[in-house]
Amino acid sequence: MGDAATPHHSAEPAPFPRGFRWGAATAAFQIEGSTSADGRGESIWDVFTRTPGLVLDGANAELAADSYRRYRDDVALLAGLGADDYRFSIAWPRVQPGGTGPANEAGLDAYERLVDALLAAGIAPVPTLYHWDLPQQLEDAGGWLNRDTASRFADYAALVVDRLGDRVGRWITLNEPAMTTLQGYALGTQAPGRALMLGALPTAHHQLLAHGLAVAAIRARGAGEVGITNNHTLVVPATDAPEDRLAAGAFDLVVNRIFAGPVLAGAYPDLSGFGLDAMPGLEAGDLDVIGAPLDFYGVNFYNPTRVAAASAGSEFAAAGLPFEPVDFEGVPTTGFDWPIVPAAFTELLVSLGEDYGERLPPIVITENGASFPDEVVGGEVHDARRIAYLEEHIAAVRRAIELGADVRGYYLWSLLDNFEWAEGYTQRFGLVHVDFDSGERVPKDSYAWYREFIAGARGLS
């Protein structure tokens, strides 16, 4: 059931720094649809969704939110919010159907139309070059296990920047490489669905190398600012017992530090606890490429993670992992059953500065939001729980700034309800409700709240 109707929350934000950027985010595979239009090639997610039993509701993304055709509607929704920025992603297989060779001009034309529509509406485009939709032909050649994929990504990035670099001022290379490695290659719960456990580690290095090579390609073209988006979770030991604290440290290493350290400190953390002397695939000079200075650092945050030592007989222990995520006690949860602990967001942002110091560039929150089981009732969607989540987490960002974190922007996830990867259409994150049969868009109460909040924040800054 959707939330009961409640009065709008008042939009009374504390002042944010002058020039703070407000926006919303989406990803190509999750919203575009038209997965075979205009010469687009197959991605690993197209193949994954066709495999019975891998997507919760058996759905695919052929229609999704139909944003490939309805992009003007989405730009109008962003303009109605008063958004400064729109973070979207460019589908690699739409630009390079097989992941190599010349650009598919029809694919680039589509993103050029979107960029021009955003600029005409006074909204800055912030493209992500890779949001998980690897061309299937590259996966057939080894995917992110293959070092050559990093070079292919840099070639693709160059094609996009050559077309759009005169109008795009901020680029994001990769989205959440940790999830590609952990869910896509280690556990097999997301595309490409490989269950390699620690054998997936080379995919972490090759993604980060791809990032570094793309940064060089973007810099060579003088095409504005560049950064990466990593997802971060604050890791909390289940107890003060030494074994739980060690387990939490190992989890933090795998989820956070392996992906942040090379980018922000030019080095991988100590992997000896996993029986490794060095990151698999690392070659001389790689860390110099990966650790090139950035203009901003994208942080995706949804929830903290409570971790215990792997219990005997658990799937984690069976896989040789020393940790096991466990539930928080006595905290509310989202529709995804993710714990809602806003103070963890503040602590995480402050800790990044403590860990990486002057190497940490200004932070942009590139995703933050929550799914709830929303419904349209009488032409409206009353999502009071989402509003409460957003209020609390934006306040947590403001608190982190007060404590010294250099945060320059906040992009809410998500503008639209979308195809939520292996969960299909069962989880709704959007400010705007989407009917996935008709494409009809219905702004939720949270859309009106965010619009009012942005206006208020801008007036106080």
Tens digits of per-residue pLDDT, 330-342?
999 999 999 999 9
Report if residue 44 sits inside a domain.
Answer: yes
Q: Is a pLDDT exceeding 60 seen at residue 121?
A: yes
94: tokens are 């739409």
The one-letter amino acid code at 113 reads R
CA 287 to chain CA centroid, Å, is 23
Annotation says 392 is catalytic = no
- How far is residue 164's CA from residue 169's CA, in Å, rounded to a whole number? 9
pLDDT in tens, 141-192: 999 999 999 999 999 999 999 999 999 999 999 999 999 999 999 999 999 9
- How far is residue 369's CA from residue 394's CA, in Å, rounded to a whole number? 10
222: tokens are 């003088």
Report if residue 7 sits inside a domain.
Answer: no
pLDDT in tens, 29-81: 999 999 999 999 999 999 999 999 999 999 999 999 999 999 999 999 999 99
The residues with which 433 forms a beta bridge, in sequence order, are 442
Provide the pLDDT for residue 316: 86
Report if residue 16 sits inside a domain.
Answer: no
Paired sense of beta strands 124-130 and 432-434, if any: unpaired
> Is 42 annotated for ligand binding?
no
Q: Is a pLDDT exceeding 80 seen at residue 6?
A: no
Kindly name the residue from 32, 176, 347, 391 that is annotated as catalytic.
176
Q: Is a pLDDT exceeding 90 seen at residue 353?
A: yes
The residues with which 432 forms a beta bridge, in sequence order, are 416, 443
Q: Do the beta carbons of residue 375 and residue 2 sit within 8 Å?
A: yes
Q: Do the beta carbons of residue 65 and residue 418 sit within 8 Å?
A: yes
Coil/strand/helix, residue 12: coil
Q: Do the beta carbons of residue 24 and residue 84 sit within 8 Å?
A: no
The continuous run of DSSP H or E covering 177 comes out as: helix 177-179
> Is 8 annotated for ligand binding?
no
Report if residue 4 sits inside a domain.
Answer: no
pLDDT in tens, 400-425: 999 999 999 999 999 999 999 999 99
Provide the pLDDT for residue 297: 99
- How far is residue 290's CA from residue 426's CA, in Å, rounded to a whole number? 37
Greatest Cα-to-Cα distance within the chain, rounded to the nearest angstrom: 62
Provide the pLDDT for residue 320: 83
Q: Is a pLDDT exceeding 70 seen at residue 366?
A: yes
pLDDT in tens, 181-227: 999 999 999 999 999 999 999 999 999 999 999 999 999 999 899 99
> Is 30 annotated for ligand binding?
yes
Provide the pLDDT for residue 8: 43
Q: How large is the average pLDDT for residues 360-377?
A: 98
- How far is residue 250's CA from residue 244's CA, in Å, rounded to a whole number? 10
Q: What's the domain range around 97? A: 21-460
Paired sense of beta strands 323-326 and 305-309, if any: antiparallel
- How far is residue 83's CA from residue 454's CA, in Å, rounded to a whole number? 8
Report if residue 12 sits inside a domain.
Answer: no
Q: How large is the average pLDDT for residues 75-92?
A: 98
Provide the pLDDT for residue 360: 98
Provide the pLDDT for residue 422: 98
Closest CA to 259 of 336, 150, 367, 182: 182
Q: Is a pLDDT exceeding 60 seen at residue 312?
A: yes
The continuous run of DSSP H or E covering 158 comes out as: helix 148-164
Q: Do the beta carbons of residue 32 and residue 38 sit within 8 Å?
A: no
Provide the pLDDT for residue 409: 98
Q: In Å, what is the CA distance from 335 to each residue of 2, 240, 389, 418, 443?
A: 11, 29, 12, 15, 19
Report if residue 202 sits inside a domain.
Answer: yes
Phi, psi of 375 (to 5 degrees): -140, 150
User: Residue 120 — pLDDT band, cuts 50, 70, 90?
Assistant: very high
Phi, psi of 162 (to 5 degrees): -60, -35
User: Residue 5 — pLDDT band, cuts 50, 70, 90?
Assistant: very low
- End-to-end CA separation in angstroms for the chain: 38
Q: Is a pLDDT exceeding 90 seen at residue 14?
A: no
Query: Who wins on pLDDT, 458 or 448?
Result: 448
Q: What is the mean pLDDT of the chain?
A: 95
Alpha helices by DSSP H, listed for 221-330, are 242-252, 258-264, 286-290, 315-318
438: tokens are 């008709």
User: Residue 318 — pLDDT band, cuts 50, 70, 90?
Assistant: confident
Radius of gyration of the chain, Cα coordinates, nearest whole angstrom: 21
Q: Is a pLDDT exceeding 60 seen at residue 131?
A: yes
Question: Residue 459 half-sphere exposure, CB side, CA atoms within 13 Å?
Answer: 10
Q: How large is the average pLDDT for residues 435-441?
A: 97
- How far is residue 85's CA from residue 24's CA, in Å, rounded to a whole number? 7
> Is 392 annotated for ligand binding?
no
The continuous run of DSSP H or E covering 30 comes out as: helix 28-31
Closest CA to 66 of 414, 436, 375, 425: 436
How many domains does the chain divide into? 1
Q: Write the CATH number for 355.
A: 3.20.20.80
Closest CA to 178 of 276, 301, 281: 301
The one-letter amino acid code at 246 reads L
Q: Is a pLDDT exceeding 80 seen at residue 9?
A: no
Alpha helices by DSSP H, listed for 307-433, are 315-318, 342-356, 384-402
Q: Is a pLDDT exceeding 60 seen at residue 4?
A: no
Report if residue 360 sits inside a domain.
Answer: yes
Report if residue 13 sits inside a domain.
Answer: no
pLDDT in tens, 238-274: 999 999 999 999 999 999 999 999 999 999 999 998 8
> Is 411 annotated for ligand binding?
no
Phi, psi of 373 (to 5 degrees): -80, 75
Annotation says 225 is catalytic = no
DSSP type of residue 93: H
Kindly name the residue from 139, 367, 391, 452 that is annotated as catalytic.
367
Provide the pLDDT for residue 2: 39
Provide the pLDDT for residue 461: 53
